Amino acid sequence: AEHQHARYNPLRDDWVLVSAHRVKRPWQGQLEKPPPEDVPRWDPNNPLCPGATRANGEVNPQYEGTFVFPNDFPALQPDAPEPDDSDHPLFRAAPARGVCKVMCFHPWSDLTLPLMSLPEIRAVIDAWAELATELGASYPWVQIFENKGAMMGCSNPHPHCQVWASSFLPNEACLEDRTQRQHLSQHGVPMLLEYAEQEARRKERLVVENADWLVVVPYWATWPYQTLLLPRRHVCRLQDLSDSERDNLASIMQRLLIKYDNLFEVSFPYSMGWHGAPTGPYLEEDCRHWQLHAHYYPPLLRSATVRKFMVGYEMLAQAQRDLTPEQAAERLRSLPEVHYKKRAE
Q: Which residues are catalytic?
A: 160
Tell whether residue 139 is among the known ligand binding residues. no
Q: Do the beta carbons of residue 282 and residue 244 sit within 8 Å?
A: no
Tell whether residue 291 is among the known ligand binding residues. no
Burial environment of residue 188 by CB neighbours within 10 A (0 to 12, 13 to 18, 19 or more)? exposed
Question: How is residue 242 annotated by DSSP?
Answer: -
Tell whether residue 260 is among the known ligand binding residues. no
Tell whether residue 22 is among the known ligand binding residues. yes
Tell whether residue 239 is among the known ligand binding residues. no
Tell whether residue 132 is among the known ligand binding residues. no
Rounded to whole angstroms, the Cα distance separating 321 from 22 reads: 9
Tell whether residue 320 is among the known ligand binding residues. yes
Tell whether residue 24 is among the known ligand binding residues. yes
Tell whether residue 254 is among the known ligand binding residues. no
Tell whether residue 8 is among the known ligand binding residues. no
Q: Where are the beta strands (DSSP E) in 87-179?
A: 98-104, 141-148, 160-166
Closest CA to 69 of 131, 129, 122: 131
Tell whether residue 71 is among the known ligand binding residues. yes
Tell whether residue 309 is among the known ligand binding residues. yes
Cβ contacts of 269 within 8 Å, gap of 6 or more: 35, 148, 149, 150, 151, 152, 154, 298, 299, 300
Per-residue burial over 198-212, b if 16 or more Cβ lie within 10 Å, else e, is: ebeeeeebbbbbeeb
Q: Do the beta carbons of residue 205 and residue 325 sit within 8 Å?
A: yes
Neighbour tally for 100: CB within 10 Å: 18
Tell whether residue 155 is among the known ligand binding residues. yes
Cβ contacts of 64 within 8 Å, gap of 6 or more: 50, 107
- Residues annotated within the binding site are 22-25, 55, 71-72, 147, 153-155, 162, 176, 275, 293, 295, 308-309, 313-314, 320
- Residues annotated within the binding site for UDP-alpha-D-glucose are 22-25, 55, 71-72, 147, 153-155, 162, 308-309, 313-314, 320
